[in-house]
Amino acid sequence: MGNTITSEFIHQIPKTDLHVHLDGSLRLSTLIELAGKCNVELPASDEKGMKKEVFKETYADLPEYLKGFSYTVAVLQSPDHLARVARELVEDNIAEGVRYIEVRFAPQLHSRDDFTVDEVVKAVCKGLDEAKNEFNASDAVRKGDDIPFEYGIIACALRRFNQHMSPYYACLFEAMPHAPLEEVFSAASLDLVRAAADMRYKQGLPVVGFDLAGEESGYPAGDHRAAFQYAQTHFIRKTVHAGEAYGPESIFQAITDCHANRIGHGTFLFADNMIQDPEIEDPKAYVEHLAEYIASRRITIEVNLTSNLQTIPAIRSVADHSLRQMLERNMSVSICTDNRLVSQTSVSHEIELAVEHIPMTPRQLRNVIVAGFKGSFFPSPYNEKRSYVRNAINRYEKLAEEHGIE
């Protein structure tokens, strides 16, 4: 037995992606095709040109990184397009050994009077189910040589938006012409979480969680406290983008004001130098207490290496990423993609980066893989989740034995 973690092993083991944005994870060929069908003008007509102009390996800043979403969202305004992209996302994940994903997106970006939030989610589920059911009917799954593919939906609210981003937002601004911006943003998130609870418990859709994404600085998660309190009292699990572009205080707010069960990114968890509240007299102690609380409560952190490298200049290499400290503290960590297209990545690639540059030991890799399954907002009852996690662990250990990994 040895400790060599190969690319082949990483590719074969069952994996999760708990943090993947639908509108950031299209196939580039599909984006180009759909743009032609719905008259969306792209900066280039082929994949090579689009990678040069939009979807790059490195970005100058976050605005450049986000540029591609204006094109992807524009082509995802019909049920057929949403279903197709969702189906292809499952197919791409299955091909690299991913067996559970939680697809997050903002339904309000795609909805309008004749295409409601519910219908948006149903269109995505249709595509996800098509690919899931096809794989789960395969000989490998039926014979027990592989585990089934499963998924959940995370409804994503935005910290801020404007009336030009979708008809829904335009109507909301029209209905609240004199309200402060934070009240408009709060109204949208509360509207979405109410719809999420209805879809989950009345319509039976696999809406497993509620998320808050977008610019942290100047747009605190606390403004959306009412939506997260609604999620809390209606048994909707919660994840919050926090600590991606702001310091530990943002993560603290996600946990305390938003009752977060998971943290999206959490990159600056240990950055005591970023603390701004003058009432925090000992920033180092504050960070230690926060990290210890997250670790002991098993609040899973959704780490996205490539997108962090592309959007955070302070992180010069994977070796500089806070993932190293998270692993050293035995925190619950899941390695995710964030955006497969925008970051030109996959789950296997993200894990390979961590194994090579952190580096990760076989034990740490196993812990990360298991944390992804355990930390999931699995759509079925808890006992079924336990069984699914056990099957994933058994599959992992069987492959580890075959590859000679301790």
Tens digit of pLDDT for each residue in 242-251?
A: 999 899 999 9
Examine residue 57 and state whether it is found in any structural domain, yes or no. no
Rounded average pLDDT over 42-60: 96
Domain that holds residue 126: 7-26+76-402
Reduced to 3 states (helix: H, G, I; strand: E, B; else coil), residue 189 is helix
Cα 262 to Cα 48, 191, 276: the distances in Å are 37, 22, 23
The string of pLDDT tens digits covering residues 385-401 is 999 999 999 999 999 99
Reduced to 3 states (helix: H, G, I; strand: E, B; else coil), residue 300 is strand
Is residue 140 over pLDDT 50?
yes
| Residue 56 φ then ψ, to 5° | -100, 170
Examine residue 256 and state whether it is found in any structural domain, yes or no. yes
197 with 231: CB under 8 angstroms? Answer: yes
Instruction: Find tokens 């069908």 and name the residue.
Output: 37
Is residue 403 over pLDDT 60?
yes
Examine residue 236 and state whether it is found in any structural domain, yes or no. yes
Is residue 217 over pLDDT 90?
no
Predicted pLDDT at 2: 53
Catalytic site positions: 244
pLDDT, averaged across the chain: 97
Examine residue 129 and state whether it is found in any structural domain, yes or no. yes
Find the farthest-apart pair of alpha carbons in the chain and give their distance in angstroms, rounded: 68
The string of pLDDT tens digits covering residues 167-188 is 999 999 999 999 999 999 999 9
Cα 372 to Cα 251, 301, 302: the distances in Å are 20, 9, 9
For residue 56, which amino acid is it?
K
Residue 180 burial (CB < 10 Å; 0-12/13-18/19+)? exposed
Predicted pLDDT at 62: 82
The string of pLDDT tens digits covering residues 268-285 is 999 999 999 999 999 999
Examine residue 321 and state whether it is found in any structural domain, yes or no. yes
Is residue 35 over pLDDT 50?
yes
Is residue 1 over pLDDT 50?
no
Examine residue 219 and state whether it is found in any structural domain, yes or no. yes
CATH code at position 226: 3.20.20.140
Sheet of strand 333-335, all strands in order from the earlier edge strand to the far edge: 15-21, 98-105, 150-158, 207-213, 237-242, 262-265, 300-303, 333-335
Alpha carbon distance 246, 105 (integer Å): 22
Rounded average pLDDT over 319-342: 98
Is residue 70 over pLDDT 70?
yes
The tally of domains found in the chain comes to: 1
Examine residue 2 and state whether it is found in any structural domain, yes or no. no
Q: What percent of the chain has pLDDT over 70?
A: 100
345 with 380: CB under 8 angstroms? Answer: no
The string of pLDDT tens digits covering residues 374-384 is 999 999 999 99
Is residue 405 over pLDDT 80?
yes
Examine residue 316 and state whether it is found in any structural domain, yes or no. yes
| Residue 388 φ then ψ, to 5° | -65, -45
Is residue 143 over pLDDT 70?
yes
